[in-house]
Amino acid sequence: MDGYRVDDSLGFLANRLATAMRYAFEKRLEEFGLTAPQYGFLARLFEEDSQSLSIIGKSLYCDKPTMTGIANRLEKKGFIRKVRDEEDRRVIKAVLTENGRRLRDVLRNMAKELNAEALNDFSEKETKLFKSMLKMSLDNVLKMVEGGVINV
Asked if residues 114 and 21 have their Cβ atoms less than 8 Å apart, the reply is: yes
Non-local (6+) Cβ contacts of 39 within 8 A are 25, 29, 107, 111
Class of the CATH-defined domain 6-118? mainly alpha
Asked if residues 66 and 57 have their Cβ atoms less than 8 Å apart, the reply is: yes
Per-residue pLDDT tens listing for the chain (152 residues)? 577 888 889 999 999 999 999 999 999 999 999 999 999 999 999 999 999 999 999 999 899 999 999 999 999 999 999 999 888 888 999 999 999 999 999 999 999 999 999 999 999 999 999 999 999 998 998 888 777 665 54
Sketch the domain layout of the chain as residue ranges. 6-118, 122-152
Please state, in angstroms and rounded to a whole number, the distance separating the CA atoms of residues 75 and 33: 13
Residues 10-41 as b or e (16 or more Cβ within 10 Å = b): eeeeeeeeeeebbeebeebbeebebbbbbbbb
CA distances from 83 to 49, 72, 74, 93, 103 (A): 12, 12, 13, 5, 20
Query: Dihedral of the CA atoms 51, 53, 56, 57 (nearest 10)?
Result: -170
Asked if residues 60 and 53 have their Cβ atoms less than 8 Å apart, the reply is: no
